[in-house]
């Protein structure tokens, strides 16, 4: 076999066969429970590429594969069910379950973690991480020290959401909030909006910072950043009107809904007098959800791709370990050109 062939990876085979790395892994490991779902022509195409290239799987990775429990751990830093945030996390969990089923893995939800100083912690005296082959982490904010320890202990994991504060590269599948936010701001500007504002945290979690960064990239440094925490929807509306804002880009969808309601009570027409753009999906329960202009987060796809990435890591595949997925832009009914004279 030529020396060059020994340097091929599963990623190379997947690219040549025009399939996913997961499909290559399933074929290589001859998983009868999962490969049955792979069309025979797809399996034959993968095997043909393997034969033609002389690919051989890394023996260490194959031994690790054979020693797996076929159990995928899921740890959530916020309670996901039964809870008020269940609707937000459900698509993530659905994507995780879907791909785990394709791989023939069982899911283990770690629920024994104690709450310390108001936060759940993955590391505690009775943690059972090692039961699972690897773990998918869910949470708006994940402690940097826990991420760093997972990396130091070489425990296989993938974070759902971008993380950059662990002191070392964190494997993650996140949403490209910055690009989506920049795009919807540019749409509003193309309609003629010049007095625009960002409403929300914009700091703390990477998802918040990324939204504000995307807003700044399109709107510039002078556009107002208005806080929503600890303020009523009416107070936020007063602030927007005082600044003569014609388009408000709201980080949290629940805040956008509350602002929409406050405007209706005041007789402020949305979007005629004030356009309201929602930058994602609500993490809090809401009674109604107008057809907002803005974007949705690809939550199901993020869960699915997180499991796919974890499988690649466990298989020893050489692959990108930090992925950002595009958000789904929505036209909605809450963005229109500003009224004349605004």
What sign results for the dihedral spanned by CA atoms 295, 301, 305, 307?
positive
- Pick the closest to residue 323 from 335, 310, 332 (CA basis): 310
Question: How far is the C-alpha of 207 from the C-alpha of 166, rounded, in Å?
Answer: 16
249, 198 contact by CB (below 8 A): yes
Segments making up each domain of the chain, as ranges: 3-57, 69-175+298-328, 177-296
Paired tokens of 129: 């991480």
- For residue 4, the model assigns a pLDDT of 40
Residue 199 sits at φ, ψ, to 5 deg, of -120, 115
Judge if 3-57 and 177-296 fold alike in CATH terms.
Answer: no
CA distance 309 to 314: 9
- For residue 159, the model assigns a pLDDT of 97
CATH 3.40.50.2300 for the 3-57 domain, yes or no: no
Sequential pLDDT tens for the chain (342 residues): 333 444 577 788 888 899 887 788 778 766 555 445 788 888 889 888 887 777 766 554 554 455 678 899 999 988 776 555 557 888 999 999 999 999 889 999 988 877 777 778 888 777 788 889 999 999 888 889 999 999 998 899 999 999 988 889 999 999 999 999 999 999 999 999 999 999 999 998 899 999 999 999 999 999 999 999 999 999 999 999 999 999 999 999 999 999 999 999 999 999 999 999 999 998 877 777 789 999 999 999 999 999 999 999 998 887 789 999 999 999 999 999 998 766
Q: Looking at domain 69-175+298-328, does it have CATH number 1.10.3720.10?
A: no
What pLDDT, on a 0 to 100 scale, did the predictor assign at position 51? 77
At residue 83, the pLDDT reads: 59
Give me the pLDDT at residue 123, please: 84
CA-CA distance, 204 to 194, in Å (whole number)? 27
What is the model's pLDDT at position 84?
Answer: 55
Predicted TM-score (pTM) above 0.85: no
Q: Is residue 145 within 8 Å of 247, Cβ to Cβ?
A: no
Write down the pLDDT at residue 87. Answer: 78
- Give pLDDT, residue 1: 35
CATH superfamily of this structure's domain 177-296: Response regulator (3.40.50.2300)
């Amino acid at each position: 076999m030529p020396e060059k062939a020994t340097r091929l990876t599963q990623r190379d085979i997947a690219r040549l066969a025009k399939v996913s790395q997961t499909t290559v892994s399933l074929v290589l490991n001859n998983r009868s429970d999962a490969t049955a779902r792979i069309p025979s022509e797809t399996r034959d195409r993968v095997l043909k590429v393997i034969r033609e290239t002389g690919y051989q799987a890394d023996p260490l990775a194959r031994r690790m594969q054979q020693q797996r429990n076929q159990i995928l751990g899921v740890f959530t830093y916020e309670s996901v069910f039964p809870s008020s945030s269940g609707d937000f996390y459900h698509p993530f969990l659905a994507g995780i379950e879907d791909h785990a089923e394709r791989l023939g893995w069982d899911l283990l939800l770690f629920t024994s973690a104690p709450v310390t100083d108001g936060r759940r912690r993955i590391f505690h005296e009775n943690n059972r991480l090692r039961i699972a082959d690897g773990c998918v982490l869910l949470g708006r904010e994940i402690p940097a020290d826990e991420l760093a320890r997972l990396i130091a202990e070489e425990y296989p994991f993938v974070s759902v959401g971008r993380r950059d504060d662990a002191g070392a590269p964190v494997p993650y599948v996140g949403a490209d909030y910055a690009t989506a936010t920049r795009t919807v701001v540019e749409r509003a500007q193309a309609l003629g909006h010049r007095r625009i504002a960002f409403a929300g945290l914009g700091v703390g979690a990477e998802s918040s910072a990324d939204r504000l960064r995307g807003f700044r990239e399109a709107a510039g440094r002078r556009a107002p950043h208005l806080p929503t925490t600890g303020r009523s929807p009416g107070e936020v509306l007063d602030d927007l009107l005082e600044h003569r804002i014609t388009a408000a880009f709201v980080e949290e969808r629940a805040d956008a809904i509350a602002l929409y309601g406050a405007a209706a009570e005041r007789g402020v027409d949305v979007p005629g007098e004030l356009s309201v753009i929602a930058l994602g999906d609500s993490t809090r329960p809401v009674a109604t959800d107008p057809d907002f202009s803005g974007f949705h987060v690809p939550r199901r796809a993020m869960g699915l791709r997180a499991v796919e990435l974890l499988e690649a890591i466990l298989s020893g595949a050489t692959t990108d370990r930090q992925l950002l997925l595009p958000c789904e832009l929505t036209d909605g009914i809450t963005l229109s050109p500003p009224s004349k004279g605004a």
